[in-house]
Amino acid sequence: MSLIAGSYERFIWGYSVKSPALTLTPLFSFPSHLSTIKCVAVSGSAAVSGGNDDTIKIYDLSTSSEIGSLHQSSAVSSLAFYTPSSLSFPRNLVSADAQGCVSIYDADPFVHLKTVKAHKKGVNSLSIHPSGKLALTVGHDDCLAMVNLVRGRRSFYCRLNKESSIVQFDGTGDKFFMVVDEKITVHESEDAKLVFELDNGKKVLCAAPGSKGILYTGGEDRRIKAWDTGSGKEAYSIDDAHTSRVKGIVVLSKSCDGSGEDDPVIVVSASSDGVIRIWDVRMIHEGKPIPLAEANTKSRLTCLAGSSIKSSRRSQF
């Protein structure tokens, strides 16, 4: 298991998560961008970061090194890998930028395939469907868009009532979630029908789907909340998870394929206080949970990504 975090101070932080004790082992830390890092993504040994310097940096976690760059025409706002379940290395990388464009790359090796104009203004967030055939995006133009990743074109575009900051498919692809300030809306993927609206009370800054219909969120209230998207209610929460706002959440599986009976039970959170913490959510029902491990980067963290896929070096990488 591996983690990567970006910071306001341009630093990238890489960690491996060792089982069974789930310790955080540093891999690297250095100023990889010329300005603030806005987004990161990980799949196996492949990791990327995007920043306000219009650049995507590529890392090989198996060698703890930066191995290349991809240059875009504006700030990179969101990144996502598509990794088929049968592979341990991503097939595609998809990025979004401040000009409203979505770029599709082959990830083995990293080669640009297509750029699609998805929004009239900058993209806030993107999410790839588990099939790898399409992606959803939300942007500053108060719109939701769907991009056909196979044909490389926008296939759907509609106006929302208000600008959304996050869009995310669940693990099965049957539902997707959107975040608007303190509200989280749950939709059917087939027709975008609204299923539930969840009220967090304070602004939501990050979200990650878990198993069995659980959605984890974090934000201004410094809490990690678990929502049951089947009932539309809060399932449980970790109060005062950090001393400052929660900026990133990752759900990891103890088994590489996520097939374990209790998988996933590991939640990792990152805060603008610079601290990354690992939680076993089963401990929540036994009283106030204590982090299994933590690392203090002493920087203002902006984003977090992780992967349960075992890192393995590829010659094409």
We report the CATH number of the domain holding residue 221 as: 2.130.10.10
In a domain, 98, yes or no: yes
Burial class (CB in 10 A: 0-12, 13-18, 19+), 288: exposed
In a domain, 105, yes or no: yes
Residue 301 confidence (pLDDT): 96
In a domain, 48, yes or no: yes
pLDDT at position 179 over 90 = yes
In a domain, 153, yes or no: no
Q: pLDDT band at 261, cuts 50/70/90? A: very low
Dig out the tokens for 106 from the structure. Answer: 């082959």
Say how far apart CA 113 and CA 54 lie, in whole Å.
18
In a domain, 313, yes or no: no
Residue 258 confidence (pLDDT): 43
Tally the residues of the chain: 317
**Which residues, at least 6 apart from 75, have a Cβ–Cβ distance to it below 8 Å?**
38, 50, 51, 52, 53, 54, 97, 98, 122
**Integer-rounded Cα radius of gyration of the chain:** 18
Q: pLDDT band at 284, cuts 50/70/90? A: confident
The domain total for the chain is 1
H or E element at residue 310: none
Task: Share the mean pLDDT of the chain.
Answer: 90
Give the domain range for residue 108.
2-121+172-307
pLDDT in tens, 86-139: 777 899 999 999 999 999 999 988 999 999 999 999 999 999 999 999 999 999
pLDDT in tens, 157-168: 999 999 999 999
Residue 260 confidence (pLDDT): 44
Q: pLDDT band at 310, cuts 50/70/90? A: low
**Which residues, at least 6 apart from 212, have a Cβ–Cβ distance to it below 8 Å?**
none
In a domain, 140, yes or no: no
Residue 18 confidence (pLDDT): 79
Burial class (CB in 10 A: 0-12, 13-18, 19+), 307: buried
pLDDT in tens, 2-12: 899 999 999 99
The DSSP output letter for 174 is: S
Average pLDDT over residues 79-88: 87
Under a CB-based contact definition with an 8 Å cutoff, are residues 306 and 41 in contact? Answer: no
pLDDT in tens, 199-211: 999 999 999 999 8
pLDDT at position 225 over 70 = yes
